[in-house]
């Protein structure tokens, strides 16, 4: 059963119970008031009748009358003073009965309390579906003599019954209207909960932008606001996780690309050892180079995996290293590639030592020089400079269109897709370079003009400069 139905049933039940109790009490109280009012009126009337009959009984005329005449005269005066619905009781026996009932139960006199005109005692008896009001008043001056009245008050009880029936009808109508009204109001009041349920289901299906509308400041709406805040946090976390996942995919894909250069060198030296007879010194030199490159390959692979976040980033530590030695390693790695395209390579190093990871910085610069070689024409020139807290790789190649300069550091973006595919590139080099620069508290900037060449600049931040001097 839905919550709004439960609340509606409970609320309606409590309301109807309260209305039933109050209505029943009201009907009973009004019925009691009607009877009391009738008793009061009849008591007043009996008081008047009794007083008139007592005045007659006190007259001296009765003293001189015989018993027979006295009885006849009393009957006449009683009929004159009291009229119908009254009876005269003497010594427990009805002497005169003007009621329409057989007066035989004189035990009533023993049940009644002493007469009180303001609050007369009475008894109600039911006879043949009729309700009879019985009241008795002693006659002052006459021992064991009472005036008894028997009034039909069935109409009073009929009125009470009609009131009860009317209340029952009103009660049923109010019950129906209350149930309908409470159901509608409860459903309306709980609408925010339905919105909350809808939003929860939407978020569970991956629609993280779903929110609960907040229109007021009641408790349910406060829950809605808390839900929206939670949804914001969930959406933020999911977005961050998606970005991290995409970044991991990007960097993981670049791993093969970055390991290609040392693998090519190792394969070249291994092929030479297999097919060329070398002198012992040359052979040891080749084996030493293969061993060094394998060691660097092992270190580089671990650091690449750290960049992807697949490993705990504890393999990357920035240590003071010589920029001059870094330049020499890059020149050595790219020597054959430069020679194949007959490109002049110049270096100008005016920086001494900087905090860096030598393997990652070497990979960064090798990427930049490799891109410069690919963009340069045979016989061109490339410069690599380090000065004024920046490292630049400058070429005179084909350049990059202005509308594409800002996109070259995005993953999988390729300026010349046909050339890049031919050369085995996957568009991850500069994206990886950007990440490595970020680890070194630096930014990667690209300036280029079509037909004039490109400048790739690693610009170290002020925070990095403070670290270098500490």
Residue 439 has pLDDT above 80, yes or no: yes
Pick the more confident residue, 64 or 123.
Answer: 123
Q: Using CA atoms, how far apart are residues 144 and 92, in angstroms rounded to an integer?
A: 7
Top-confidence range, 30-44, 293-307, 379-393: 379-393
Residue 100 has pLDDT above 50, yes or no: yes
Top-confidence range, 4-18, 274-288, 343-357: 343-357
* Domain that includes residue 21, residue range: 3-176
Residue 149 has pLDDT above 50, yes or no: yes
**Residue 223 lies inside a defined structural domain of this protein:** no
**Residue 439 lies inside a defined structural domain of this protein:** yes
Least confident of 31-40, 206-215, 370-379, 438-447: 206-215
142, 161, 176 - which closes a domain: 176
pLDDT number for residue 229: 82
pLDDT number for residue 463: 47
**Residue 231 lies inside a defined structural domain of this protein:** no
Residue among 46, 44, 53, 127 nearest 90 (CA): 53
User: What percent of the chain is predicted at pLDDT more than 90?
Assistant: 10
CATH number at residue 73: 3.30.450
CATH number at residue 425: 3.30.565.10
**Residue 125 lies inside a defined structural domain of this protein:** yes
Residue 59 has pLDDT above 60, yes or no: yes
Strand order in the sheet with 145-152: 93-97, 86-90, 145-152, 130-138, 123-127
* Contact residues for 91 (Cβ-Cβ < 8 A; gap 6+): 144
For the chain, the domain total comes to 2
Residue 394 has pLDDT above 90, yes or no: yes
**Residue 139 lies inside a defined structural domain of this protein:** yes
**How much is the average pLDDT of 63-91?**
77
176, 211, 236 - which closes a domain: 176
167-180 confidence digits (pLDDT tens): 888 878 888 888 78
CB 406 within 8 A of CB 431: no
Residue 68 has pLDDT above 50, yes or no: yes
Reported as a pLDDT band with limits 50, 70 and 90, residue 310 is: very low
**How much is the average pLDDT of 102-115?**
60
When the pLDDT of each residue in the chain is averaged and rounded to a whole number, the result is 78
Residue 323 has pLDDT above 80, yes or no: yes
Q: Which value, to the nearest 10 degrees, does the dihedral of the CA atoms of residues 194, 196, 202, 208 take?
A: 160
Q: Using CA atoms, how far apart are residues 338 and 374, in angstroms rounded to an integer?
A: 10
pLDDT number for residue 48: 84
Q: Phi first, then psi: what are they for 274, rounded to 5°?
A: -75, -35
Residue 435 has pLDDT above 70, yes or no: yes
345-376 confidence digits (pLDDT tens): 999 999 888 899 888 898 889 889 988 998 89
143, 176, 209 - which closes a domain: 176
Least confident of 212-216, 364-368, 377-381: 212-216
Residue 457 has pLDDT above 50, yes or no: yes
**How much is the average pLDDT of 315-334?**
87
Q: Using CA atoms, how far apart are residues 368 and 430, in angstroms rounded to an integer?
A: 8
pLDDT number for residue 421: 37
Residue 74 has pLDDT above 50, yes or no: yes
**Residue 446 lies inside a defined structural domain of this protein:** yes
Least confident of 178-182, 194-198, 285-289: 194-198
pLDDT number for residue 426: 34
Reported as a pLDDT band with limits 50, 70 and 90, residue 458 is: very high
Residue 67 has pLDDT above 80, yes or no: no
**Residue 273 lies inside a defined structural domain of this protein:** no
Least confident of 15-24, 265-274, 419-428: 419-428
**Residue 276 lies inside a defined structural domain of this protein:** no
């Amino acid at each position: 059963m839905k919550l709004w139905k439960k609340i509606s049933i409970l609320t309606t039940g409590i309301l109807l119970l309260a209305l039933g109790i109050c209505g029943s009490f009201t009907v009973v109280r009004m019925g009691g008031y009607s009877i009391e009012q009738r008793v009061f009126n009849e008591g007043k009337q009996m008081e008047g009748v009794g007083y008139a009959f007592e005045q007659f009984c006190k007259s001296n005329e009765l003293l001189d009358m015989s018993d027979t005449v006295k009885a006849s005269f009393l009957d006449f005066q009683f009929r004159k003073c009291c009229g119908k619905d009254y009876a005269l009781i003497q010594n427990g026996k009805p002497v005169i009965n003007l009621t329409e009932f057989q007066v035989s139960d004189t035990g009533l006199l023993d049940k009644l309390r002493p007469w009180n005109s303001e609050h007369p005692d009475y008894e109600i008896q039911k006879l043949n579906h009729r309700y009879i009001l019985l009241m008795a008043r002693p006659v002052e001056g006459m021992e064991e003599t009472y005036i008894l009245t028997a009034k039909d008050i069935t109409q009073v009880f009929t009125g009470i019954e009609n009131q009860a029936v009317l209340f029952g009808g009103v009660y049923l109508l109010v019950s129906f209207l209350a149930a309908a009204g409470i159901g509608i109001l409860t459903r309306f009041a709980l609408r925010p909960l339905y919105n909350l349920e809808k939003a929860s289901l939407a978020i569970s299906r991956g629609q993280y932008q779903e929110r609960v509308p907040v229109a007021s400041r009641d408790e349910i709406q406060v829950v809605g606001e808390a839900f929206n805040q939670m949804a914001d946090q969930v959406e933020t976390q999911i977005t961050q996780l998606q970005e991290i996942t995409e970044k991991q995919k990007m960097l993981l894909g670049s791993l093969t690309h970055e390991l290609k250069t040392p693998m090519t060198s190792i394969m070249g030296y291994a092929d030479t050892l297999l097919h060329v007879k070398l002198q012992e010194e040359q052979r040891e030199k080749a084996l030493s180079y293969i061993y060094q490159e394998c060691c660097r390959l092992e270190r580089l692979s671990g650091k690449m995996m750290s960049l992807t976040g697949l490993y705990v980033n504890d393999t990357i530590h920035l240590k003071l290293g010589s920029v001059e030695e870094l330049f020499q390693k890059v020149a050595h790695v790219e020597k054959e590639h430069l020679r194949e395209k007959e490109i002049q390579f110049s270096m100008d190093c005016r920086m001494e030592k900087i905090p860096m990871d030598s393997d990652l910085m070497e990979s960064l610069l090798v990427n930049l020089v490799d891109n410069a070689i690919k963009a340069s024409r045979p016989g061109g020139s490339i410069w690599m400079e380090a000065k004024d807290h920046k490292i630049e790789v400058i070429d005179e190649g084909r350049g990059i269109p202005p509308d594409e300069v800002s996109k070259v550091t995005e993953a999988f973006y390729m300026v010349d897709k046909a050339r890049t595919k031919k050369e085995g590139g996957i568009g991850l080099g500069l994206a990886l370079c950007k990440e490595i620069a970020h680890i070194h508290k630096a930014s990667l900037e690209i300036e280029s003009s079509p037909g004039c060449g490109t400048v790739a600049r690693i610009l170290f931040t002020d925070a990095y400069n403070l670290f270098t001097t500490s």
